[in-house]
């Protein structure tokens, strides 16, 4: 790729950042669309995060993605934060505006729901309760997305129940009374599946090198969609077990790919798509 002096610049701020797939992902789109631009890995220590962001603004960058451990710091730093990002409590996308101000967004909820819609066309969360395992940052984005899609009941379960209660309390604010969040004990996860239309694992269980997710799917209706945020491996034991009993499944790689689209559009001016070719290119690492 050859750049001109007018090349548009963006990147991902993280610490460490070496594991990030975002440069490969955005690089694919830049190449595909023959855009005069670059997307770089930007290693910034936590104590240097703010000055690193200011430097990018001064250098004329269009914006940046923000990953672990900077997502909360990015929320505090942005001059304007989109309401969804504030609700989730984290910013993963920064857009630097012409006047030098910084807009903070969260595109994880978008990535989550777009992935389900692409993987299972016609999917809507509005028809049945959803079961969400976990209460970390990913769970917050998933819960917000389900609320916005009109899910009637979100059953939240986490090993540390207090964390789930906190997420439920914070996200229940500003919400339509038609969408409620119920907190269940982690030990009740098998029973929580009864009557559900969606099961999502947002914990690290089942990830390569992590303990397995132990759950009995017997009570889950056969037409319920099962999704795992974990994408290494692509087909987790949860997805394999769900598929074996006939449930539709959607893997987690698509959430990573779809969450990147709005940022790319804001910085480089074109809304990119998630294709099989892209999935293969980013997933094969
Ligand atoms: P993220 O922000 O990426 O979602 P996180 O905040 O580290 O990641 O959350 C990881 C999730 O996996 C949490 O819900 C965590 O449960 P706790 O809140 O109880 O820590 C869950 N998790 C990790 N290891 C687990 C285990 N062995 N059993 C059950 N849940 C586990």
Atom of ligand 1 nearest to the CA of 163: 18
Atom of ligand 1 nearest to the CA of 138: 4
Q: Does residue 71 have an active-site annotation?
A: yes
How crowded is residue 8: how many other Cβ atoms within 10 Å of its Cβ?
A: 18
Please report which confidence band the pLDDT of residue 138 belongs to, taking 50, 70 and 90 as the band edges: very high
pLDDT at 173: 80
Contact partners, residue 85, CB within 8 Å, separation at least 6: 75, 91, 92, 104, 105, 106
Choose which residue among 108, 136, 188, 206 to substitute to test ligand 1 binding: the one with the highest number of ligand atoms within 8 A of its C-beta: 136
Residues with CB under 6 A from ligand 1: 134-139, 158-160, 163, 202-205, 211
Q: pTM value?
A: 0.96
How far is it, in rounded angstroms, from Cα 98 to Cα 249?
42
Structure tokens at 280: 């293969």
Q: How far is CA 264 from CA 22, 119, 181, 258, in A?
A: 11, 21, 32, 10
- Ligand 1 centroid to residue 222 C-alpha, Å: 27
Instruction: Give SS3 for 159.
Output: coil
- Ligand 1 centroid to residue 53 C-alpha, Å: 29
The H-or-E segment that residue 102 falls in is: strand 102-105
- Ligand 1 centroid to residue 238 C-alpha, Å: 16
Catalytic residue among 8, 71, 180, 280: 71
- Percent of all residues in the chain with a pLDDT value above 90, rounded to a whole number: 96
Indicate whether 284 pLDDT > 90.
no
DSSP letters spanning 103-154: EEE--HHHHHHHHHHHHSTT--GGGS-EEEE--SHHHHHHHHHHHHTT-SEE
Ligand 1 atom 25: the closest Cα is on which residue? 205
pLDDT at 172: 87
- Ligand 1 centroid to residue 136 C-alpha, Å: 6
pLDDT at 177: 62
């Amino acid at each position: 790729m050859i750049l001109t002096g007018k090349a548009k610049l963006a990147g991902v701020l993280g610490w460490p950042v070496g594991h990030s797939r975002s440069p490969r992902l955005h690089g694919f789109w830049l190449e595909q669309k023959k855009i005069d631009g670059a997307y770089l890995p930007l290693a910034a220590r936590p104590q240097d995060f703010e000055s690193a962001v200011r430097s990018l603004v001064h250098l004329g960058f269009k914006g940046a993605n923000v990953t672990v451990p900077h997502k909360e710091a990015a929320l505090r730093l942005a001059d304007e934060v989109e309401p969804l990002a504030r609700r989730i409590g984290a910013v993963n996308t920064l857009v630097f505006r012409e006047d030098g101000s910084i807009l903070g967004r969260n595109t994880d909820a978008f990535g989550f729901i777009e992935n389900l819609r692409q993987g299972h066309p016609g999917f809507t969360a509005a028809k049945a309760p959803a079961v969400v395992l976990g209460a970390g940052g990913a769970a917050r984005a998933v819960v917000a997305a389900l609320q916005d899609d009109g899910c009637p009941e979100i059953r939240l379960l986490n090993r540390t129940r207090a964390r789930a209660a906190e997420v439920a309390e914070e996200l229940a604010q500003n919400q339509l009374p038609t969408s409620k969040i119920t907190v269940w004990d982690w030990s009740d996860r098998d029973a929580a599946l009864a009557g559900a239309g969606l099961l999502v694992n947002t914990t690290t269980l089942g990830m390569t090198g992590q303990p397995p997710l132990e759950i009995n799917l017997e009570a889950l209706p056969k037409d319920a969609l099962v999704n795992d945020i974990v994408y290494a491996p692509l087909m987790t034991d949860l997805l394999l077990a769900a598929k074996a009993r006939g449930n539709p499944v959607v893997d987690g790689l698509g959430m990573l790919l779809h969450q990147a689209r709005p940022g790319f559009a804001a910085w480089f001016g074109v809304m990119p798509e998630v294709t099989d070719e892209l999935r293969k290119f980013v997933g094969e690492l």
